[in-house]
Structure 1
Amino acid sequence: MNARALIALLSGTLFGAGLAVSGMADPARVRAFLDIAGRWDPTLAFVMAGALVPMAIAWSLANTRAAPLVDVEFHVPETRTIDARLLGGAALFGIGWGIAGLCPGPAIADLALRPAPAAVFVAAMLIGFALHRLLDRPRAHRPTTATA
């Protein structure tokens, strides 16, 4: 196994374990966190806040390096524009998260914890990925509004 695959495996395992231990892979806990008008459970806010510290350290370290340890370059978003596509996608993500109590990372972790309900979500997620790939032209080939 090469270094890149090993780091991906270890990172994914750590991420999945963190989701399971923190309760973020529990749809009932996620829905309770999102229920701010009812019986709100703020515990996931602490999990999210706790993720900010290591992420801040990682961004800080990334700014001092020319490339990551096992790749030739950092892969960062090409744009910081907030547009209708971003807002629409965020809204769809939030609606799905609120309905199912799952998002992609916890859904994959839940395949080990709660296989049947997670499999339905993961299947729907994969169908959504496939539809996006079929219906959305790559950004590089989209017409631009700039004039020559």
Structure 2
Amino acid sequence: MDEELDIILNRNSGFRCTIIDARSHVRLLRISGGASLTDMQYDLEIADLADLPSTQYRALSYTWGHITGLDDVGVIEIGGASLVIRRNLYDFLRTVVSKNEFGLFFIDTICMNQLDLDERRFQVQEMAHIYRYASEVIA
């Protein structure tokens, strides 16, 4: 298969990222908790790249993992829209919430529009900048 299952599912679901100028902005995932793991709340916020040195956020560096079927993906709701993510990332987010580690995160597969090749190209060029200014890098 040339295209990964999560990309296909997200294209078919109609999930849309807010459009940004990828040369000067980045999306950060805000994780907020509720009374239980099922109350996890996710929203994407736009940050100016120039403001990252003064922004408190954590960046996740991880291996995307392989997808062989639907057991290898999970679904989260971002701003009321469903986004399919790989199981290892889904499990990471569940762990973050179970430890009450809320706040802003940069997670490439969520924060970069994977369906927009031009945006991805510009954002990849900014990755060193994004990771350098993170309050913490989780690997």
Q: Which has the larger radius of gyration?
A: 1
More strand by share: 2
TM-score by length of 2: 0.30
TM-score w.r.t. length of structure 1:
0.29
By relative contact order (CA 8 Å, sep 6+), the higher-ranking structure is: 2
